[in-house]
Amino acid sequence: MNYFNQQTERLKFRKLTREDIPVWTSFFVNNDRLRFLGIDLSNKPETHATEWIEKQLERYETEGLGHLAIELKETSEFIGVGGIIPRELENKNEFEIAYSLLPKFWNNGYGTELAKKMTKYGFENIKPERFVSIIDKENSDSINVALKNGMKVLFETQYLGMNVEVYGIYNE
């Protein structure tokens, strides 16, 4: 299965492109959860969106993974980004199940649907010992997604200047 071309019951995933920068910019406007990302909140929304997408384009080339564009299958509307991100955490190479949705699409189960799909894909194709999700301790919505994805708290640490809990699920 091609990482860059997957789908679920309601969602489809594809590579991000520079053409996605304008719609992704809206994620960084009037979003009270930006504090959970460990980013410099003084930067302009356009700067954040451009840097985020450019980083994924680089990851596609160097790692064959990264955040993908998430679209509603029925309408092709862009609703956010998510996927598998290689990370170094506590001096260990990990694979993170990560996602960020545009606020108007929160609380519809899309994050859980994506997380479960990426975990399944990853265990079948990448085959790591485990997947993690790095979540700010105050981000209750992402914690709920991790729990619904079968993850449990592994440990607490500092990440990008935040107090986080690292959730994980092991390959059985």
- Judged on CB neighbours under 10 Å (0-12, 13-18, 19+), 4 is middle
Is 6 within the bounds of a domain? no
Is 142 within the bounds of a domain? no
Q: What is the CATH number of the domain that holds 118?
A: 3.40.630.30
The predicted-structure confidence for 91-139, as pLDDT tens digits, reads as follows 999 999 999 999 999 999 999 999 999 999 999 999 999 999 999 999 9
> What pLDDT is stored for residue 34 in this prediction?
80
Is 82 within the bounds of a domain? yes
Domain range for 48 is 11-131
Is 16 within the bounds of a domain? yes
Number of domains the chain contains: 1
Tell me the pTM. Answer: 0.92
The predicted-structure confidence for 11-65, as pLDDT tens digits, reads as follows 999 999 999 999 999 999 988 888 788 777 788 999 999 999 999 999 999 999 9
